[in-house]
Amino acid sequence: MNNIQEFSKEIKKGNKRFIAKAITLIENEDKQATELINSLYEFCGNAKTIGITGPPGAGKSTLVGELVKHIRSLDKTCGLILVDPSSPFTGGAILGDRIRMPELTNDSGVFIRSMGTRGSLGGLAKATRDSVKILDASGYDYVIIETVGIGQAETDIVQTADAVVVVSVPGLGDHIQTLKAGIMEIADLFVVNKADKDGAPKTARELRLMIEMSNYAVEERPPVLLTDALSGTGIPELFTKIEAFIENNLKSGKFESRRKEQLLFEIQDILDYNVKKYIKTKIDKDFYKSKVEEIFNRETTPYVVTEELFNILLNKGE
């Protein structure tokens, strides 16, 4: 790579090739990515970020495509990060979200990047966060992150956004159950997509009921909106609600406190990540193996061993 100064200059100019290369460095956990983020950091913080999550097939990508078209009609620019699961067995992935938004590829005011979850060391949230920073520094007005809402890793990702939209569809009883189990709390707005299908109003009613029974304060209850992403019905209304949510938070100070909470999470997360990486370099697999033998034979205990390992990490003891 060229030098960092040159690189960050091109990114600030919005040079897509450099933006793309930067995201690759981030994804590959290259050291230069960190330098790049550091040099761009003072130029970040202006983009509004929107997280979109929900079960596979709910129509998230279609909806994102329509949302971006709407945002573009208001003369604002958009950076997109579309996350899809990698195969846990091979690490490979087919990333097909672009299929749902083919027109956007030719739009100079849009940048789209597909990402596999890869899943090493839980670095995904970090990679998304940092990619958002690149798009932010490049001057995009909005950055939208799409993830499949299943696991903790995915919810961690969307929680880095200023506004989180959870997408449901009619006739997914199970999905409503998973909402109860935790995804519920991360939503700032709910969307029932595929409103053209039977059962959409019923799903919306069920959602509203659940919201009423959950821990949201009355004035903070997320709205439930109906969309038909195929025709674009309900998309302008969705965007208006997202904007209103962010606007209100800006006025009330919640926007700032939320970002500060996210920063706290971020530094803890990076620290966590670095510690894990450090442990990997300090203690090799064979050492673990021999310790497992000793513990198995009751010569020592898991606690004694971890204490010992901890001392090695702190460079005390032998």
Partner 1 sequence: MSERKVRILVAKPGLDGHDRGAKVVARALRDAGMEVIYTGLRQTPEQIVRAAIQEDVQFIGLSCLSGAHNHLFPKVTSLLEESGADDIIVFGGGVIPSDDIPFLKEKGIKEIFGPGTGTDKIINFINSLCDE
Chain residues binding ligand GDP by CB under 6 A are 56-62, 97, 100, 193-194, 196-197, 228-230
Cα–Cα–Cα angle for 309, 315, 318, nearest 5°? 70
The CA distance from 91 to 96, in Å, is 16
- At its nearest, how many Å lie between partner 1 and the CB of residue 30? 4
Q: Answer whether 146's CB lies under 8 Å from 80's CB.
A: yes
Closest distance of CB 97 from Mg ion, Å: 4
> CB 111 → partner 1: shortest distance, Å?
6
Residue 7 contacts which entry, partner 1, Mg ion, ligand GDP, none (Cβ below 5-8 A, type-dependent): none
Q: What's the token pair of residue 314?
A: 């702190």
Of the residues 57, 91, 151, 201, which one makes contact with partner 1 according to CB under 8 A:
91
The least CB distance from residue 65 to ligand GDP, in Å, is 8
Residue corresponding to tokens 């997360």: 269
- Amino acid identity, position 7: F
- Member of 2, 3, 20, 278 binding partner 1 (CB under 8 A): 20
Going by C-alpha positions, the residue among 149, 151, 85, 96 that lies closest to residue 118 is: 85
Binding-site size for partner 1 (CB under 8 A) equals 34
Site for Mg ion in 86-105 (CB under 5 A): 97
Q: Which amino acid is at 207?
A: L
The single-letter code of the amino acid at 70 is H
Distances (CA, A) of 150 to 67, 85, 181: 22, 10, 11
> Closer CB to partner 1, residue 24 or residue 159?
24
Of 40 and 101, nearer to ligand GDP (C-beta) is: 101
Q: Is 275 or 304 the residue whose CB approaches partner 1 more closely?
A: 275
116 binds partner 1 (CB under 8 A): yes
Contact with partner 1 (CB under 8 A): which of 54, 63, 111, 140?
111
Instruction: Rule CB under 8 A: say whether 2 interacts with partner 1.
Output: no
Position among 10, 14, 21, 62 found at the interface with partner 1 (CB under 8 A): 21
CA distances from 294 to 303, 308, 311, 312 (A): 12, 13, 18, 18
Distance of alpha carbon 299 from its chain centroid, rounded?
45
Candidates 8, 49, 53, 61: give the one binding Mg ion (CB under 5 A).
Answer: 61
CB-CB contact of 95 with 84 (8 Å): yes
Q: Reduced to 3 states, what is the DSSP secondary structure of residue 99? A: helix
Q: How far is the CB of 152 from partner 1 (least distance, A)?
A: 22
User: Is residue 221 within 8 Å of 189, Cβ to Cβ?
Assistant: no
**CB of 131 vs ligand GDP, minimal distance in Å:** 18
Q: Which does 98 bind (CB under 5 to 8 A by kind): Mg ion, partner 1, ligand GDP, none?
A: partner 1
Q: Is 168 in the site for Mg ion (CB under 5 A)?
A: no
For residue 215, the Cα-to-chain-centroid distance in whole angstroms is 23
When CB distances are held under 5 to 8 angstroms depending on the partner's kind, the choice from ligand GDP, Mg ion, partner 1, none that residue 23 binds is partner 1
Half-sphere exposure at residue 64, Cβ-oriented, CA atoms within 13 angstroms: 38
Does 142 interact with partner 1 (rule: CB under 8 A)?
no
Which of 114, 178, 214, 262 lies at the binding interface for partner 1 (CB under 8 A)?
114
- Cβ contacts of 277 within 8 Å, gap of 6 or more: 121
- The smaller minimum CB distance to partner 1, of residues 13 and 221, is found at 13
* Residue 191 parent element (H or E): strand 189-192
Q: Are 243 and 50 in contact (CB under 8 A)?
A: no
Summarize as ranges the residues that interact with partner 1 (CB under 8 A): 16-17, 19-21, 23-25, 27-31, 86-87, 90-96, 98-99, 102, 105-106, 111-114, 116, 118, 277
